[in-house]
Amino acid sequence: MMAVVNRKFYVCRCFFTHNYFVEKFNLHLTYDGTGKLEPTTEQILLDRGASDEDVAGVLLTLRRERERRENLGGKITDRTLQVSQQYVKLHPYLYKIKDEFFSPKFLEIVEYSKSDEANQSKLISMLSKTKCDHVWSLPVFTDKFCDDFVEEITNFEKSICEKGRPNTMNNYGILLNELGFDELFFNEFRRKYISPVVKILYPEWFGLGLDSHKVFTVKYKHGEDLGLAYHYDNAEVTLNVCLGKQFEGGELYFGGMRTEPIDLLHTKPVLHNKSYGILHRGQHLHGAMGIDGTSERHNIIMWMRSSSVRNKLCPMCDDEPQLVVQSGFGDGFTQDGPRFCALT
Ligand SMILES: [Fe+2]
Ligand SMILES: [Zn+2]
């Protein structure tokens, strides 16, 4: 067996041009970076009743977001360095994965998935069914882990360190790789804990292996983000774990896959429970309802990627990915072709 070291990961060129989320109009737009709106984009906005001022505001948002994306690689490096030098961890023990962080039931599910006799129907019997096909719920962490993790990210949020945000839809989340959680936590978690489960549950999305991920927190609170518009993830499989605190409402809702016609009338709710994770296919359309009253909820979102699957088709532009190198895991694309050997 040969380990793959220093593999390069890439983003697709569409990262710079596609999927600009404009909250006011609940739209994902494209922007070619020319400093002007594309005529079709302007028409879409006018059809939605946008004023001249709105159109100018959207253009400004797109230009700023484009700039952010173009400078992202360097920014990630700068922020990660700043965090490693200046941030004082509240609970340092959290940064190195241990079995004791997990619910005994989760460890049982992982152990079963690794066993020679593991099969899909028995694995499914160990998970909780949801109202939506192919969406599963399972206990993941202990309550203590969840509480300490929320304290850690709240502590980081108060620090002077510059924070990168997960994407244009989440304004109050934290990128856990920049906080230093990848090396001894989520890389191990992906390889040794969740990969065996995903391999059996979603083999067509697992491909030759989950070889990268993007993991971040999201926070829903009044005065900040309340819910999340209908979308799909830039991932083959997503694990969404609820950490608490107190919340009412805020359930997820799922519809069809992104390749199917959008039907918002027949979505199905899936409830969040503290310390439980929801596993779903990244391209399964979903959103989060608004939380109620004085609620506050934190979730860990792990977007898991299989380069052997996404190298064939970029889910964000529906085309063969045009690779642009980026630091870290990029968006999980690699140069590996059909002879790719997934030994990560
Ligand atoms: Fe999502
Ligand atoms: Zn693309």
Tell which wins on pLDDT, 319 or 223. Answer: 319
Distance 318 CA to ligand 2 centre (A): 6
Ligand nearest the Cα atom of residue 319: 2
Ligand nearest the Cα atom of residue 253: 1
The predicted model gives 274-296 an average pLDDT of 89
pLDDT tens digit sequence for 152-203: 999 999 999 999 888 777 778 899 999 999 999 999 999 999 999 999 999 9
Give the contacts of 321 (CB within 8 A, at least 6 positions apart).
Answer: 10, 12, 13, 14, 310, 311, 313, 314, 333
Q: Is 203 helix (H, G, I), strand (E, B) or coil?
A: helix
pLDDT tens digit sequence for 197-228: 999 999 999 999 999 999 999 988 877 666 67
Residue among 341, 338, 343, 328 nearest 11 (CA): 328
Domains of the chain: 71-305 (2.60.120.620)
Distance 229 CA to ligand 1 centre (A): 9
Distance 116 CA to ligand 1 centre (A): 32
Ligand nearest the Cα atom of residue 166: 1
pLDDT over threshold 90, residue 284: yes
- Preceding peptide of 245 cis, ω within 30°: yes
Ligand nearest the Cα atom of residue 278: 1
pTM of the model: 0.92
> Is residue 333 within 8 Å of 10, Cβ to Cβ?
yes
Confidence of residue 3 (pLDDT cuts 50, 70, 90): very low
